[in-house]
Structure 1
């Protein structure tokens, strides 16, 4: 009997520890494992099938890890596996990753269905060569080359409602599908009409018994191994949308499911459905209070912009896939058919969520509410982020419908950057109520057109200024990757914070449930910061491990919020392409060839006040000592340092540690406008390492541990005279004027010296006598002497350094950088 490499979604079999230990550091820097394709990209629950995975960095491929419950994988060799899917596995979209000697790969989507699975049979690139398939099936195919097009023929009976749906973007494919339907003679009957993102859905009412042919190709006729797809040709139940789109948490509710072949006598009985070009069926289901709870992960596809969308996946028995039903922690008010004008506006009380359907292109929903002057209200619409084909507009008017007082705006900011794009077209905004009274809320669709579409559902949240935090994390390297930590090394994650409803303070990020030998210290996103980094480190003695990293975010006014994982789907795209993942897997594998350790709290030796612990304030300098540990100490190379995750108001810095040294400093000026609070940054190091016995080298980039620092209110601020000298000759004496202005009630003595990150008074061949400020003195002069053998060139991070003294103890610290160069 062959060994079956079962990898549950939430744990790791220790049986694989042995082969992970075989991969050692002699191989140099470990490559990044990337999973490119999974063929086929899905399977039927209750079946067994052979799949093939391909990618890069997949040496020593041993197992697959899938978030679908109960799925088992038996390795067959050469990238092939036997997948066994239990009949109890819910249909939906799941993450699949490869596991090899380099650790965990990036993720690909693996879809579980309840339909017959079929596979494209070549040649099928002409109408006369169409592959025969049956309705009620899923066809797995690929547009393998430019100009390729796939034809499939099936038989259908008059009166049947056949839905053809092409899954491409939603399963991580580069295909932009075009779907067409022909009769047996080649006459085109239907072209792609409805879209889910760029994927296509076609609703076809069979006019007569006969044979029909579907054609799939790329919109620009491109093709590759990455242009794979799954084509549903279905006559069974299919759910398109749930109405209402959101229900209140913990409360039972009736929900109408709209879709096709739902076999309900009330299929076309609603006003929202009437007039549609192809009316949707409907079925009413009862959601119990126990089911009405937010869940995660869900067997659904989520983009980074959907971080924070709460809900659960409802599976109608016999339907092809689950549907999202939103969950709200405030009362939900469903739009009434009488609220189509300002005169018929529907009364609401906030906090609440209103939800409805903007089926007709010119439809407007009106609500009215009372508010008091000075109240701060937050409005947030959800349309695009819940998969609705609607472009929402939200506005507030006075009670007489005469003046527009406020309009929400789309979230065009991309706080996640290229690796985790977060911008979307859903509007939101903050409004301060100008006076006591009654106001009108209008919700409408900007791009409705003449077509009636019952799928145009929306949600609008109206809440007070109660901060809310949501988090998403993704590997730092900017491309498809897993989180793999080498023993004795570190890996970095980018974290994106969605600050909602007035959240401005510092945010603490913490890990929990880490295995032995793995650490992930808390980090801070300072006031107003939306991006930062988390660093995971593995000790030299850490055991090989594969599991999941769990991160939580904490802010002052709310409960901890779990972070959702993310993955870059494809690298090199102009606008970035990533999505959320069900988990954030973590692997400990191999050995790190290089490790850097950063310390932002190294004590400073002062000739007057002894060993000092620096207290950071706006107008001061954060000095980070960086120590380099090389696994091969015989190989020496320069190490270039730069800050990572540096708060936006702080200027980044670079420095090079010479090859003959193992320690250096990187210093960051904290501007006077920097808000007080807790912050975190990291250090990135670039150098070379030997690759083997031939001593050839290859470049490597590694990251330090996280450097946390707290910024306190300043006691004084140091400023350099704008006309201060910028150069000094060997043997020369110069005078540098500066000011020290006391603030925040500080009245004590201040002592100033010339300093660098490491030394005070005698620095880089320069000598300087310190100056003490007493009373109301605020200006001074540093007299600097350059030795005859002072090293030529700029002195890194030279500064005028001041300490504020309380009862003969140096408590407060402040500096300003002094850009000075030693010349001949």
Structure 2
């Protein structure tokens, strides 16, 4: 009997030794910061925010990617911290734009969430505004922080004068929101005047003095704490492209900006330059900023060139966050007996994918970047066939009645020279 028991014990011990060590590993969940509300604040102010999270037992600190934004827990009457509430101090010199917010807990530092810093008055919606009668009044040149209401429409009102220019923008995806927003400008009775179903800009010119409405809802009328948005109303002078709210940039393409390119273009396009009038005359190399506004706008530039010259033509618009698809046509101009003739030299369209996207099967191996690295923007070369005058025509293939008022572009023409691009990507996918 003793021999049998000893044999069983030895067999059990050998089985335990045979179990791989990896089977004993335990993976702790990654802390995730889900929302920060309000989603931003004005530089030089103090904001009280509430957070939601996952896999966090208790948020010890709220951290930001810039030292000009700090946070302390909200204290209750007994001096103890109120769970998930912080007082955020934004310094007057805090950089305008989008910054990362993270929470520190016993499991480590969480994934980031966007926190925007602006220079406009900030408003936080606190009461229901799902009817015209309950519309929340907003002053011009302000930003309202809110979440959509489930199966309802959020109403806002504002005063405007005839002939002015009011730009309405609902920022969602650029601040880590899950909301696909529909934004409508309506008259005081609720009759729609302008509609955007892709979260773009609405460039509104009031037909008369009075009160107007802004309606906001999800594309599928969804609501919830993660359906956040920042609604801005701004008075914009002139007729040029309207600036957008700062947003996070998605990683979908590389090669922008080119090495040595200044932050701002050296020249702006001059309207009218879309024909049949005279084109805008330029000299190469050049760096020009412009916009695809109004709808179906095409900008034409004219320049002299010599036979054998090789020029690289690059247009950035989609890579600047625009919903655009630029197209370039280069033509040679010849004049005979006062009659002008245009001969096509080159057509430039999308940027091809320089690297094949990676495969994710099996999940442990990555053979390339986990994104498509091409772009609808333009990058290509032209070789000048003869001395003479040439024209470059630039337009948006997606341009139409629904053209976004903020559809800007940057045109860069430079001489060909050796170049390379360095691309890096994470070895593992990260959840935000």
Normalization by structure 1: what TM-score?
0.40
Residue 194 of structure 2 is matched in structure 1 by 191
What per-residue deviation string (whole Å, max 9, x for no partner) do you get for residues 571-594 of structure 1? xxxxxxxxxxxxxxxxxxxxxxxx
Larger RCO (CA under 8 A, 6+ residues apart):
2
Residue 83 of structure 2 is matched in structure 1 by 78
CA distance in 2, matches of 1:436, 1:336: 27
Deviates more, 1:109-118 or 1:467-476: 467-476
Matched, 1:128 2:133: yes
How far apart are residue 143 of structure 1 and its match?
Answer: 1.8
Residue 409 of structure 1 is matched in structure 2 by 349
2:170 equivalent among 136, 153, 166: 166
What per-residue deviation string (whole Å, max 9, x for no partner) do you get for residues 330-375 of structure 1? xx555566865699666655443344455452534132342443x6
Residue 621 of structure 1 is matched in structure 2 by none
SS in 2 for 1:410: coil
**CA spacing shift, 1:69–1:99, aligned 2, 3 Å:** same
Residue 317 of structure 2 is matched in structure 1 by 383
SS in 2 for 1:88: coil
1:136-175 to structure 2, matched below 5 A, reads: 136-145=141-150, 147-154=151-158, 162-175=166-179
Residue 177 of structure 1 is matched in structure 2 by 181
**CA spacing shift, 1:160–1:64, aligned 2, 3 Å:** same
Between Structure 1 and Structure 2, the one with more strand by share is 1
1:269-668 to structure 2, matched below 5 A, reads: 273=239, 301-305=248-252, 307-310=254-257, 326-327=263-264, 332=266, 334-335=268-269, 350-359=284-293, 361=296, 363-373=298-308, 376-387=310-321, 390-400=324-334, 402-411=342-351, 413=353, 415=355, 419-431=370-382, 433=383, 435=385, 437-438=387-388, 440-445=390-395, 446-449=397-400, 457-471=408-422, 473-480=424-431
CA distance in 1, matches of 2:156, 2:66: 29
Residue 711 of structure 1 is matched in structure 2 by none
Residue 46 of structure 2 is matched in structure 1 by 48
Structure 1: unaligned runs, 5 residues or longer: 1-25, 236-259, 268-272, 274-278, 283-297, 312-324, 481-568, 570-824
Q: Which has the larger radius of gyration?
A: 1
CA contact (8 A) 1:420 1:474 kept: no
CA distance in 2, matches of 1:334, 1:476: 41
CA distance in 1, matches of 2:25, 2:50: 27
**CA spacing shift, 1:465–1:58, aligned 2, 3 Å:** farther
CA distance in 1, matches of 2:370, 2:83: 31
Residue 63 of structure 2 is matched in structure 1 by 65
What per-residue deviation string (whole Å, max 9, x for no partner) do you get for residues 219-260 of structure 1? 22123321111122445xxxxxxxxxxxxxxxxxxxxxxxx1
CA distance in 1, matches of 2:171, 2:83: 27
CA distance in 1, matches of 2:226, 2:428: 22
CA contact (8 A) 1:176 1:199 kept: no
Matched, 1:28 2:56: no
1:771-790 to structure 2, matched below 5 A, reads: none
Structure 2: unaligned runs, 5 residues or longer: 1-23, 74-80, 335-340, 359-368
CA distance in 1, matches of 2:384, 2:185: 57
How far apart are residue 58 of structure 1 and its match?
Answer: 3.1
- Matched pairs, number: 379
SS in 2 for 1:170: helix
CA distance in 2, matches of 1:83, 1:44: 11
What per-residue deviation string (whole Å, max 9, x for no partner) do you get for residues 97-126 of structure 1? 223333333222111133333322343323
CA contact (8 A) 2:315 2:409 kept: yes
